Structure 1
Amino acid sequence: MKRGGILNPAICSLLAELGHTDELLIVDAAYPLPSDAHVIDLTLTPGIPRLLDVVRAVAEELVIDAIAVPAEIKEHSPRLFQELLKLVGDVDIDELPYHEFKEQALDAKGIIRTAEFSPYASVRILAGSAY
Protein backbone atom coordinates (compact mmCIF):
# COMPACT_ATOMS: atom_id res chain seq x y z
CA MET A 1 0.00 0.00 0.00
CA LYS A 2 1.21 3.52 -0.77
CA ARG A 3 2.12 5.68 2.23
CA GLY A 4 0.54 8.82 0.89
CA GLY A 5 0.03 11.00 -2.10
CA ILE A 6 -2.68 10.03 -4.54
CA LEU A 7 -4.21 6.67 -3.64
CA ASN A 8 -6.74 6.40 -6.48
CA PRO A 9 -5.29 3.72 -8.80
CA ALA A 10 -6.83 5.18 -11.96
CA ILE A 11 -5.32 8.62 -11.29
CA CYS A 12 -1.94 7.10 -10.36
CA SER A 13 -1.93 5.21 -13.64
CA LEU A 14 -2.96 8.25 -15.68
CA LEU A 15 -0.27 10.44 -14.12
CA ALA A 16 2.36 7.76 -14.76
CA GLU A 17 1.35 7.65 -18.43
CA LEU A 18 1.77 11.40 -18.95
CA GLY A 19 4.87 12.44 -20.84
CA HIS A 20 6.37 15.85 -21.47
CA THR A 21 3.78 18.12 -23.15
CA ASP A 22 0.86 15.71 -22.59
CA GLU A 23 -2.29 17.40 -21.33
CA LEU A 24 -4.53 16.57 -18.40
CA LEU A 25 -7.90 18.15 -17.74
CA ILE A 26 -9.34 18.61 -14.26
CA VAL A 27 -12.92 19.79 -14.64
CA ASP A 28 -16.02 20.80 -12.73
CA ALA A 29 -19.14 18.67 -12.38
CA ALA A 30 -20.96 20.37 -15.28
CA TYR A 31 -18.16 20.16 -17.85
CA PRO A 32 -19.37 18.54 -21.10
CA LEU A 33 -17.39 15.32 -21.33
CA PRO A 34 -16.46 13.99 -24.79
CA SER A 35 -17.93 10.54 -25.35
CA ASP A 36 -14.59 9.00 -26.34
CA ALA A 37 -12.46 10.55 -23.58
CA HIS A 38 -10.57 8.72 -20.84
CA VAL A 39 -12.56 10.07 -17.87
CA ILE A 40 -11.96 9.43 -14.19
CA ASP A 41 -15.14 10.58 -12.44
CA LEU A 42 -14.60 11.49 -8.79
CA THR A 43 -18.00 13.08 -8.15
CA LEU A 44 -19.47 12.00 -4.83
CA THR A 45 -21.74 14.78 -3.58
CA PRO A 46 -21.85 18.46 -4.59
CA GLY A 47 -18.46 19.92 -3.72
CA ILE A 48 -16.80 16.63 -2.75
CA PRO A 49 -14.15 16.54 -4.02
CA ARG A 50 -13.48 20.16 -4.87
CA LEU A 51 -11.44 21.12 -7.90
CA LEU A 52 -8.74 22.66 -5.71
CA ASP A 53 -8.35 19.45 -3.69
CA VAL A 54 -7.70 17.46 -6.85
CA VAL A 55 -5.37 20.07 -8.38
CA ARG A 56 -3.39 20.22 -5.11
CA ALA A 57 -2.91 16.44 -5.09
CA VAL A 58 -1.93 16.34 -8.77
CA ALA A 59 0.45 19.30 -8.42
CA GLU A 60 2.32 17.44 -5.66
CA GLU A 61 3.01 14.51 -7.99
CA LEU A 62 3.28 16.01 -11.48
CA VAL A 63 5.73 18.46 -13.03
CA ILE A 64 3.57 21.24 -14.47
CA ASP A 65 4.92 23.37 -17.32
CA ALA A 66 1.81 25.47 -17.90
CA ILE A 67 -1.94 25.62 -17.40
CA ALA A 68 -4.89 26.92 -19.34
CA VAL A 69 -8.17 28.08 -17.85
CA PRO A 70 -11.40 29.51 -19.23
CA ALA A 71 -11.04 33.31 -19.15
CA GLU A 72 -14.50 33.52 -17.57
CA ILE A 73 -13.22 31.94 -14.34
CA LYS A 74 -11.71 35.29 -13.29
CA GLU A 75 -15.12 36.98 -13.29
CA HIS A 76 -17.39 34.13 -12.20
CA SER A 77 -15.14 32.33 -9.70
CA PRO A 78 -12.41 34.84 -8.75
CA ARG A 79 -11.50 33.31 -5.38
CA LEU A 80 -11.14 29.86 -6.85
CA PHE A 81 -8.98 31.33 -9.65
CA GLN A 82 -6.63 33.00 -7.14
CA GLU A 83 -6.30 29.78 -5.12
CA LEU A 84 -5.60 27.83 -8.30
CA LEU A 85 -2.76 30.22 -9.18
CA LYS A 86 -1.22 29.67 -5.74
CA LEU A 87 -1.39 25.88 -6.12
CA VAL A 88 0.32 25.65 -9.49
CA GLY A 89 3.08 28.12 -8.66
CA ASP A 90 5.18 29.96 -11.18
CA VAL A 91 4.00 28.49 -14.49
CA ASP A 92 2.68 30.00 -17.70
CA ILE A 93 -1.07 30.59 -17.58
CA ASP A 94 -3.18 30.79 -20.71
CA GLU A 95 -6.65 32.31 -20.36
CA LEU A 96 -8.97 31.35 -23.21
CA PRO A 97 -12.62 32.04 -23.96
CA TYR A 98 -14.61 29.03 -22.75
CA HIS A 99 -15.48 27.77 -26.24
CA GLU A 100 -11.77 27.80 -27.22
CA PHE A 101 -10.81 26.12 -23.95
CA LYS A 102 -13.25 23.27 -24.72
CA GLU A 103 -12.00 22.92 -28.31
CA GLN A 104 -8.35 22.76 -27.29
CA ALA A 105 -9.14 20.37 -24.45
CA LEU A 106 -10.17 17.64 -26.90
CA ASP A 107 -6.51 16.58 -27.17
CA ALA A 108 -6.16 15.88 -23.45
CA LYS A 109 -4.78 12.45 -22.57
CA GLY A 110 -7.23 12.16 -19.68
CA ILE A 111 -9.94 14.00 -17.77
CA ILE A 112 -10.53 14.00 -14.04
CA ARG A 113 -14.06 15.14 -13.21
CA THR A 114 -14.57 16.70 -9.79
CA ALA A 115 -17.75 17.62 -7.95
CA GLU A 116 -16.91 21.33 -8.14
CA PHE A 117 -20.01 23.49 -8.66
CA SER A 118 -18.23 26.83 -9.17
CA PRO A 119 -18.72 28.30 -12.67
CA TYR A 120 -15.95 27.73 -15.23
CA ALA A 121 -13.90 25.77 -12.70
CA SER A 122 -11.76 23.75 -15.08
CA VAL A 123 -8.04 23.65 -15.79
CA ARG A 124 -5.92 22.10 -18.52
CA ILE A 125 -2.48 21.09 -17.30
CA LEU A 126 0.52 20.75 -19.59
CA ALA A 127 2.85 18.13 -18.15
CA GLY A 128 6.49 19.07 -17.79
CA SER A 129 9.69 17.09 -17.60
CA ALA A 130 11.45 16.13 -14.38
CA TYR A 131 14.87 16.66 -16.00
Structure 2
Amino acid sequence: MKKTGLLHAKLTEIITAAGHGDLIVIGDAGLPVPANTPLIDLAVVPGLPKFLDVLTAVANELAIEAVLIAAETANHSPEIQTGIETATQGITKDTISHEQLKDLSKTAKVIIRTGECTPYANVILRAGVTF
Protein backbone atom coordinates (compact mmCIF):
# COMPACT_ATOMS: atom_id res chain seq x y z
CA MET A 1 0.00 0.00 0.00
CA LYS A 2 1.20 3.47 -0.87
CA LYS A 3 2.01 5.55 2.23
CA THR A 4 1.64 9.12 0.96
CA GLY A 5 0.22 11.17 -1.85
CA LEU A 6 -2.57 9.94 -4.05
CA LEU A 7 -3.99 6.62 -2.95
CA HIS A 8 -6.47 6.26 -5.83
CA ALA A 9 -4.89 3.70 -8.16
CA LYS A 10 -6.41 5.03 -11.40
CA LEU A 11 -5.44 8.65 -10.64
CA THR A 12 -1.89 7.56 -9.85
CA GLU A 13 -1.76 5.54 -13.07
CA ILE A 14 -2.97 8.47 -15.21
CA ILE A 15 -0.50 10.93 -13.65
CA THR A 16 2.40 8.49 -13.98
CA ALA A 17 1.55 7.87 -17.64
CA ALA A 18 0.96 11.54 -18.53
CA GLY A 19 3.24 12.86 -21.23
CA HIS A 20 4.24 16.41 -22.04
CA GLY A 21 1.22 18.27 -23.37
CA ASP A 22 -1.41 15.73 -22.30
CA LEU A 23 -4.64 17.33 -21.10
CA ILE A 24 -6.22 16.25 -17.82
CA VAL A 25 -9.63 17.70 -16.99
CA ILE A 26 -10.96 18.01 -13.45
CA GLY A 27 -14.63 18.85 -13.48
CA ASP A 28 -17.73 19.36 -11.45
CA ALA A 29 -20.54 16.83 -11.29
CA GLY A 30 -22.32 18.39 -14.28
CA LEU A 31 -19.47 18.63 -16.79
CA PRO A 32 -20.43 16.62 -19.87
CA VAL A 33 -18.07 13.77 -20.71
CA PRO A 34 -17.55 13.38 -24.46
CA ALA A 35 -18.01 9.94 -25.96
CA ASN A 36 -14.79 7.92 -25.99
CA THR A 37 -13.06 10.18 -23.43
CA PRO A 38 -11.88 8.14 -20.42
CA LEU A 39 -13.58 9.07 -17.15
CA ILE A 40 -12.52 8.63 -13.55
CA ASP A 41 -15.75 9.24 -11.67
CA LEU A 42 -15.02 10.18 -8.07
CA ALA A 43 -18.49 11.65 -7.36
CA VAL A 44 -20.11 10.00 -4.34
CA VAL A 45 -22.87 12.43 -3.38
CA PRO A 46 -23.38 16.12 -4.22
CA GLY A 47 -20.40 17.96 -2.78
CA LEU A 48 -18.14 14.95 -2.26
CA PRO A 49 -15.38 15.00 -3.13
CA LYS A 50 -14.91 18.73 -3.52
CA PHE A 51 -13.36 20.04 -6.72
CA LEU A 52 -10.63 22.01 -4.95
CA ASP A 53 -9.58 19.02 -2.83
CA VAL A 54 -9.17 16.87 -5.94
CA LEU A 55 -7.37 19.65 -7.83
CA THR A 56 -4.95 20.18 -4.94
CA ALA A 57 -4.20 16.46 -4.67
CA VAL A 58 -3.59 16.13 -8.42
CA ALA A 59 -1.54 19.35 -8.60
CA ASN A 60 0.73 18.02 -5.84
CA GLU A 61 1.57 14.97 -7.97
CA LEU A 62 1.47 16.16 -11.61
CA ALA A 63 4.05 18.26 -13.42
CA ILE A 64 1.80 21.01 -14.83
CA GLU A 65 2.87 23.27 -17.67
CA ALA A 66 -0.32 25.34 -17.93
CA VAL A 67 -3.82 25.63 -16.53
CA LEU A 68 -6.88 26.46 -18.63
CA ILE A 69 -9.78 28.08 -16.79
CA ALA A 70 -13.18 29.09 -18.13
CA ALA A 71 -13.60 32.87 -18.19
CA GLU A 72 -17.02 32.46 -16.58
CA THR A 73 -15.49 31.02 -13.41
CA ALA A 74 -14.26 34.35 -12.04
CA ASN A 75 -17.71 35.95 -12.27
CA HIS A 76 -19.93 33.02 -11.28
CA SER A 77 -17.71 31.19 -8.77
CA PRO A 78 -14.97 33.50 -7.48
CA GLU A 79 -14.14 31.13 -4.60
CA ILE A 80 -13.37 28.39 -7.13
CA GLN A 81 -11.25 30.83 -9.17
CA THR A 82 -9.27 31.78 -6.07
CA GLY A 83 -8.85 28.11 -5.13
CA ILE A 84 -7.57 27.25 -8.61
CA GLU A 85 -5.05 30.08 -8.42
CA THR A 86 -3.89 28.94 -4.97
CA ALA A 87 -3.59 25.25 -5.91
CA THR A 88 -1.66 26.05 -9.08
CA GLN A 89 0.43 28.96 -7.86
CA GLY A 90 3.40 29.71 -10.10
CA ILE A 91 1.91 27.91 -13.11
CA THR A 92 0.87 29.73 -16.29
CA LYS A 93 -2.89 30.23 -16.49
CA ASP A 94 -4.90 30.90 -19.63
CA THR A 95 -8.55 31.83 -19.81
CA ILE A 96 -10.89 30.30 -22.38
CA SER A 97 -14.66 30.22 -22.70
CA HIS A 98 -16.63 27.46 -21.00
CA GLU A 99 -17.67 26.24 -24.45
CA GLN A 100 -14.00 26.02 -25.50
CA LEU A 101 -13.22 24.13 -22.29
CA LYS A 102 -15.95 21.60 -23.04
CA ASP A 103 -14.73 21.30 -26.64
CA LEU A 104 -11.09 20.77 -25.55
CA SER A 105 -12.29 18.08 -23.14
CA LYS A 106 -12.84 15.88 -26.19
CA THR A 107 -9.06 15.64 -26.60
CA ALA A 108 -8.27 15.01 -22.93
CA LYS A 109 -6.35 11.97 -21.77
CA VAL A 110 -8.94 11.71 -18.98
CA ILE A 111 -11.74 13.59 -17.27
CA ILE A 112 -11.88 13.38 -13.49
CA ARG A 113 -15.42 14.01 -12.25
CA THR A 114 -15.84 15.30 -8.70
CA GLY A 115 -19.01 15.65 -6.66
CA GLU A 116 -18.75 19.45 -6.83
CA CYS A 117 -22.04 21.22 -7.56
CA THR A 118 -20.66 24.75 -7.90
CA PRO A 119 -21.04 26.29 -11.38
CA TYR A 120 -17.91 26.42 -13.55
CA ALA A 121 -15.79 24.32 -11.17
CA ASN A 122 -13.77 22.91 -14.06
CA VAL A 123 -10.16 23.14 -15.13
CA ILE A 124 -7.86 21.68 -17.74
CA LEU A 125 -4.29 20.86 -16.71
CA ARG A 126 -1.66 20.56 -19.44
CA ALA A 127 1.04 18.17 -18.32
CA GLY A 128 4.59 19.45 -18.29
CA VAL A 129 7.93 17.85 -17.63
CA THR A 130 10.15 17.81 -14.56
CA PHE A 131 13.32 18.71 -16.45
Query: TM-score w.r.t. structure 1 length?
Result: 0.97
Q: CA deviation at 1:35?
A: 2.0
User: For 2:27 and 2:83, how far apart are their aligned partners in 1?
Assistant: 15
Aligned twin of 2:126: 126
What amino acid sits opposite 1:4 in the alignment?
T
In structure 2, C-alpha distance between the alignment counterparts of 1:100 and 1:37, rounded to whole Å:
16
Which string of whole-angstrom CA distances, capped at 9 and with x for unpartnered residues, describes residues 40-99 of structure 1?
000011111011000110111111111001110001100111111011011111111111
What is the one-letter code of the residue matched to 2:73?
I
Partner of 1:45: 45
Give the corresponding residue for 2:8.
8
Runs of at least 4 residues off by over 4 Å: none
Aligned-partner SS, 1:61: coil
- Number of aligned pairs? 131
Corresponding residue number in structure 2 for 1:91: 91
What is the DSSP-based 3-state SS (H/G/I as helix, E as strand, rest coil) of the residue aligned with 2:60? Answer: helix
Q: Which moved more, 1:118-127 or 1:103-112?
A: 103-112
Partner residue, 1:74: 74
For 2:117 and 2:16, the matched residues in 1 are separated by 28
SS at match of 1:55: helix
Q: CA RMSD in A?
A: 0.8
Are 2:22 and 2:127, in contact at CA under 8 Å, matched by a contact in 1? yes
Q: 2 CA distance for matches of 1:34 and 1:12?
A: 22
Give the letter aligned to residue 45 of structure 1.
Answer: V
State the shift of 1:18 in Å: 0.3
Percent identity reads 37
